[in-house]
Amino acid sequence: MKIIALLLLAALPAAAAPKYAPADGHTAAPLWSDSAYLKKAAAPDYWNLSSFYMPQRKGWSVGAASLSMAFNALFSAGRERGDEDENFDPQRLVELSSAASHGLTLTALAGAARDLLAACGLRGEALATELPDASAQSLKIFRAALAANERDPRDVMLLHFTQDTVTGAPGGPFAHISPVGAYDAKTRRVLVLDTDRKWYEPYWAADEQVLKAVTAVTPKYGRGGFVVIRRAR
């Protein structure tokens, strides 16, 4: 009996690794497990972005997916454009700006956003911010930017970050781009609308951990940061 029992135990599959592993003492939490903030806060960016939540595809990059979400949230949500205007499509954005294709540095991401604003005849701006480190001073600046973005429905923040720094996934660093869906200043958490829909859903992450992710350096794409795309008032 002992031999049979041991054989049965050996045949059992190994326990699956958690999707969100601890990273520097912080563990990201999927939105479905904690939606309390969205039930009490206005969270304009979340509601404008979520209607156009776009996954990355092989044919175009995480940058194009993120830019598509941002442009739709800023210019298509609430029917800001005419009924004859289609929603922004990632493939179309790549056609309008080759800079929106695969592999974007932080500077290239902001440049692609500005190119697309001009190509689409839209009034706005795109500003990139690169923080030098994850120091207390950088965290203060980052939190202020997140809070300002949360208050203003006329702008969207795109993170240029290392995904594994936030999710705890092994094998990194993985340079990535995704929009900020919301910021809960009370709990100091960022809602990341991750474009990697094959593996992830929207998740909350500690702002100090996200700061580490946006200040990380990868050999191919350099230091990350964030880009704020703002619609003209």
Q: Name the pLDDT band for 18 (thresholds 50, 70, 90).
A: low
Q: Is the pLDDT of residue 10 over 60?
A: no
Q: Do 173 and 162 meet the contact criterion of CB atoms below 8 Å apart?
A: yes
- What is the CB neighbour count within 10 angstroms for residue 135? 12
Share of the chain above pLDDT 90, in %: 67
| Chain centroid, CA 150 distance in Å | 14
Digit-coded pLDDT (tens) for 91-141: 888 888 765 566 799 999 999 999 999 999 999 999 999 999 999 999 999
pTM assigned to the model: 0.89
Q: Quick one: which of 104, 74, 230 has its CA closest to 178?
A: 104
Distance CA 214, CA 163 (A): 9
Write the pLDDT tens digit of every residue in 37-94: 999 999 999 999 999 998 888 645 899 999 999 999 999 986 666 667 788 888 888 8
CATH topology of domain 21-231: Cathepsin B; Chain A (3.90.70)
Residues 183-212 have pLDDT tens digits of 999 999 999 999 998 889 999 999 999 999
Query: What is the three-class DSSP state of 5?
Result: helix
Range with the poorest average pLDDT among 13-17, 152-156, 187-191, 214-218: 13-17
| pLDDT reading at 170 higher than 90 | no
Q: Is the distance from CB of 229 to CB of 150 less than 8 angstroms?
A: no
pLDDT at 56 (0 to 100): 86
Residue 16 pLDDT > 90: no
Domain range summary for the chain, segments of one domain joined by +: 21-231
The two tokens of residue 68 are 């598509």
Q: What is the pLDDT of residue 8?
A: 42
